[in-house]
A and B are shown apart, each in its own frame.
Chain A
Amino acid sequence: MRTASHIAALTLLFLATTPGVHAASREASSAGEIVVGSKTFTESVILGEMASHIISNAGLRPIHRRELGGTRVLWSALIRGDIDIYPEYTGTISEEILAGEGVHGEAAIRKALARQGLRMTRPLGFNNTYAIGMQEQVAEDLNIRTISDLRGHPDLKFGFSSEFMDRGDGWPSLRKRYALPQQEVKGMAHDLAYRGLESGSIQVIDLYATDAEIQYYRLRVLDDDRRHFPAYHALILYRAELEHRAPEVVTALQRLEGRISDKAMAAMNARAKIDRVPESDVAAVFLGDVFSFTGDRQAETSVNRFLRNTADHLYLVALSLTAAILLAIPLGVAAAKLPRAGQAILGAVGIIQTIPSLALLVFMIPLLGIGGPPAIMALFLYSLLPIVRNTYTGIHAIPLHIRESAEALGLPPAAKLRLVELPMASRTILAGIKTSAVINIGTATLGALIGAGGYGQPILTGIRLDDIGLILQGAVPAAGLALLVQGGFELAERFLVPKGLRLKPLV
């Protein structure tokens, strides 16, 4: 009786302490707000920031979902309307998104997009095509200048990004085109490939023509002498309805067309990635130089950013955990009461737990899009097992003589559950909720991968920029929150667990 209402009160309290911030929830089309997406690499984030400045300058409110994921995630988010705008490349559209449809050239792409309710700006200027690079010194020693020159050196080791390993214009077709003989070809993360070059474990990598690292690592970009790589002209994709909703934004975005050179983009990438200047500032400086654009969009202060991340994180945890508690306790009771269904219930929630959390998040995207809802759903599913299992165990562990005397009193099943079984299992159930909460807080950092924000956001940016400080800005508060919640539950035990159960029996 009291326990049930205590638990309800506790969860309400938990919700109430979470400011009703919906930053993490999906509201792409609410008035005055325009949602920009960007991919998980610096150039895309800078372009996203540029679009955000432009939106803000037009008097509207930009929301930038940075580092949202790869091409697939951004593309489907745009189609679903989870985002309104994101920067993309002609080559990616032809070779990846619309692969096999034979869409080549700007006009054809524009037509294909229109069928999906999408529009694009004209190319912004630079061509961030794939390229093949080596360290200047190594290339010089071996006298390699073009990709064709690689044919004479079958012992060279290649390290390609996993995306390059299996895309239409990637390694398989490059090898065919140039008849390359090398056998040692590994797939690896792009950032690791640069380190591999430095350590000498690989000699040849794929890169983007505007990569900041070309200069930093003194790389030689090999000439694509057989014209293998298609052009990767950057442009901005947006939803057609934006032309009605915010025509001034579309006009302003069009002013970027043809204005960003290869060199300017590479320099901006280097500023952000190597000099650690925030992408927002890099973009603002460029807009100021080129358009004498006075970006009045204030950069978010670090305190504000921390508060926003905290609010987003609490929102994810509170909602998913509350929902999990509300479902898991009845499920645990059902598992304890119905022996046959019980095994099925425990089995099912157990299986959910075996799905890697990252995979579970990604599975939610086609169902719920990006942002808060899919993250909350995944966290909810993840939080079920400890609570279901502990509820089941707690009820099962009630000694036979107590169950028998409850029955013998003539209490109907529901009253028996409420008055005897749940209070007696309360400590175990609470321990399950505590476990769930701690797991939930940690796992919620992955929510940033699908645009849900939270403490994962600085971690994600920190990984991209190889910046330990930023990673700690996410990891430390997440760990602190977990400790805080754990302490909170230990306190709550005093109120939720009946006193009689906390006593040591008289000997």
Chain B
Amino acid sequence: MIQFKNVAKKYDQQYALHSLDIAFEPGRTTVLIGPSGCGKSTILRMIIGLIQPESGAVFFEGTRVASEVVLSLRRKMGYVIQEGGLFPNLTARGNMALMARYLGWAHDRIETRIGELTELTQFPVDGLDRFPAQLSGGQRQRVSLMRALMLDPDVLLLDEPLGALDPMIRADLQVDLKRIFRTLQKTVVLVTHDMGEAAFFGDVIFLLRNGRVVQQGSLDALVKTPADPFVTRFINAQRSHLESVQGGDA
């Protein structure tokens, strides 16, 4: 589905990714996790062609992600980011329909699709004609997700989609997201810095550090057979954080 072949990326002398060789399996949810600055967003941006590798190549469905084909490849991917990236000048409906209108979809087809998506994401229909400034954070992320799903892409790329939400809304949306992923059977790449979230979503987890994949596998594998002392340290740091938070009722 998506393949990185010997991909390196450097910003001003500093390597953000070191000769990465990874593959994302179709129909599965892959979670990228790791400390801040380890290169998670860089990987997503590279898949969607917002940045180009210094060396090596990224392939999407067998096609190399290069500037000549990137526009059409992007239409097969949905991208959701932490801040939502919604266009404030357009309503929720306008945001969702923008690309479909540009591609010349008929009005009915657009409306049908919007109807399917509001049902799927349980977004209130009366919110469709509101502007992003008139929506709550959770609603905005649902709109962002619907916009990403509008053209029925093959792949969903989510960069900390729940990062900016408060814990209650976050928990609700986690459940909804997982249900949506399962319903759609899409290839999903999700970035998070929360081990619990990674465990909740991830069929496969990639643990990154300083632009390299330290270990990839299920949470179980990461806990039981760590490839590196860093893996254990990272998991323990998250666990002790959780325990200190939940300390009262443990």
Q: Tell me the chain B residues, 192-250 only, with Cβ under 8 Å from chain A.
A: none
In chain A, what residue has the closest Cβ to B88?
Answer: A500
Q: Which residues of B contact A419 (CB under 8 A)?
A: 98, 102
In chain A, what residue has the closest Cβ to B75?
Answer: A410
Question: B74 at the A/B interface (Cβ < 8 Å)?
Answer: yes
In chain A, what residue has the closest Cβ to B79?
Answer: A408
Q: A404-B81, A404-B85 are in contact. Are A409 and B133 (CB under 8 A)?
A: no
Question: B50 at the A/B interface (Cβ < 8 Å)?
Answer: yes
Q: Mark A399-418, 1 if CB is under 8 A from B, else 0.
A: 10110111111111001000
Across the A-B interface, the 3 shortest Cβ-Cβ residue pairs = A405-B85, A410-B74, A500-B131
B131 adjacent to A409 (CB under 8 Å): no
A401 adjacent to B87 (CB under 8 Å): no
Question: A498 at the A/B interface (Cβ < 8 Å)?
Answer: yes
Question: B91 at the A/B interface (Cβ < 8 Å)?
Answer: yes
Q: Tell me the chain B residues, 37-91 only, with Cβ under 8 Å from chain A.
A: 45, 48, 50, 70-75, 77, 79, 81-91
Docked complex Cα distance between A499 and B74 (Å): 29
Q: List 27 A-B contacts (CB under 8 A).
A: A401-B82, A402-B85, A402-B86, A402-B88, A404-B50, A404-B81, A405-B85, A405-B86, A405-B87, A407-B50, A408-B50, A408-B74, A408-B77, A408-B85, A409-B79, A409-B99, A410-B73, A410-B99, A411-B71, A412-B71, A415-B102, A423-B89, A424-B88, A424-B89, A426-B89, A500-B87, A506-B133
Q: Mark B79-111, 1 if CB is under 8 A from A, else 0.
A: 101111111111100000011001000000000
In chain A, what residue has the closest Cβ to B81?
Answer: A401
Question: A174 at the A/B interface (Cβ < 8 Å)?
Answer: no
Min CB distance A297 to B, Å, is 58
In chain B, what residue has the closest Cβ to A406?
Answer: B87
Residue picked from A401, A412, A423, most chain B C-beta under 10 Å: A401
Q: Which residues of A contact B177 (CB under 8 A)?
A: none
Min CB distance A430 to B, Å, is 13
Q: Which residues of B contact A411 (CB under 8 A)?
A: 71, 98-99, 102
Q: A405-B81, A408-B50 are in contact. Are A501 and B74 (CB under 8 A)?
A: no
Question: A505 at the A/B interface (Cβ < 8 Å)?
Answer: yes
Min CB distance B147 to A, Å, is 8
Docked complex Cα distance between A500 and B70 (Å): 30
Enumerate chain A interface residues (CB-CB to B < 8 A).
399, 401-402, 404-412, 415, 419-420, 423-424, 426, 498-501, 503-506
Q: Which residues of A contact B161 (CB under 8 A)?
A: none
Q: Which residues of A contact B75 (CB under 8 A)?
A: 409-410
Q: Which residues of B contact A412 (CB under 8 A)?
A: 71
Question: B183 at the A/B interface (Cβ < 8 Å)?
Answer: no
Question: B165 at the A/B interface (Cβ < 8 Å)?
Answer: no
Q: Which residues of B contact A499 (CB under 8 A)?
A: 131
Q: Which residues of B contact A399 (CB under 8 A)?
A: 83
Min CB distance B146 to A, Å, is 13
Q: Which residues of A contact B134 (CB under 8 A)?
A: 503, 506
Q: A404-B81, A409-B98 are in contact. Are A506 and B135 (CB under 8 A)?
A: yes
Residue picked from B77, B85, B133, most chain A C-beta under 10 Å: B85
Docked complex Cα distance between A406 and B98 (Å): 10
Docked complex Cα distance between A409 and B87 (Å): 12
B133 adjacent to A504 (CB under 8 Å): yes
Q: Which residues of B contact A424 (CB under 8 A)?
A: 87-89
A501 adjacent to B72 (CB under 8 Å): no
Q: Which residues of B contact A405 (CB under 8 A)?
A: 79, 81, 84-87, 144
Min CB distance B243 to A, Å, is 33
Interface size on B, residues (CB 8 A): 33
A408 adjacent to B48 (CB under 8 Å): yes
Q: Which residues of B contact A409 (CB under 8 A)?
A: 74-75, 79, 98-99, 147
Question: B14 at the A/B interface (Cβ < 8 Å)?
Answer: no
Question: B34 at the A/B interface (Cβ < 8 Å)?
Answer: no
Min CB distance A406 to B, Å, is 7
Question: B136 at the A/B interface (Cβ < 8 Å)?
Answer: yes
Q: Tell me the chain B residues, 115-149 only, with Cβ under 8 Å from chain A.
A: 131-136, 144, 147
Min CB distance B177 to A, Å, is 18
Docked complex Cα distance between A424 and B131 (Å): 13
A501 adjacent to B102 (CB under 8 Å): no
Q: Which residues of A contact B48 (CB under 8 A)?
A: 408
Q: Which residues of A contact B50 (CB under 8 A)?
A: 404, 407-408
In chain B, what residue has the closest Cβ to A500?
Answer: B131
Q: Which residues of B contact A415 (CB under 8 A)?
A: 102
Min CB distance A437 to B, Å, is 24
Min CB distance A502 to B, Å, is 9
Min CB distance A335 to B, Å, is 22
Docked complex Cα distance between A506 and B136 (Å): 7
In chain B, what residue has the closest Cβ to A410?
Answer: B74
Q: Beyond the given A402-B85, A500-B133, could you list 4 further A-B residue pairs with CB under 8 A, ordered by the A residue number? A: A401-B84, A424-B88, A500-B91, A504-B133
Q: A409-B99, A410-B71, A410-B75 are in contact. Are A501 and B85 (CB under 8 A)?
A: no
Residue picked from A407, A420, A423, A505, most chain B C-beta under 10 Å: A407
In chain B, what residue has the closest Cβ to A405?
Answer: B85
Q: A408-B50, A408-B74, A409-B98 are in contact. Are A401 and B89 (CB under 8 A)?
A: no
Q: A503-B131, A506-B133, A506-B134 are in contact. Are A401 and B83 (CB under 8 A)?
A: yes
Q: Tell me the chain B residues, 1-60 only, with Cβ under 8 Å from chain A.
A: 45, 48, 50
Min CB distance A447 to B, Å, is 38
Q: Which residues of A contact B98 (CB under 8 A)?
A: 409, 411, 419
Min CB distance A494 to B, Å, is 14
Min CB distance B193 to A, Å, is 17
Q: Which residues of A contact B72 (CB under 8 A)?
A: 410
A420 adjacent to B83 (CB under 8 Å): no
Residue picked from A411, A498, A506, most chain B C-beta under 10 Å: A506
In chain B, what residue has the closest Cβ to A424?
Answer: B89
In chain A, what residue has the closest Cβ to B77?
Answer: A408
Residue picked from A404, A407, A410, A411, most chain B C-beta under 10 Å: A410
B71 adjacent to A501 (CB under 8 Å): no
Docked complex Cα distance between A423 and B79 (Å): 22
In chain B, what residue has the closest Cβ to A422?
Answer: B89
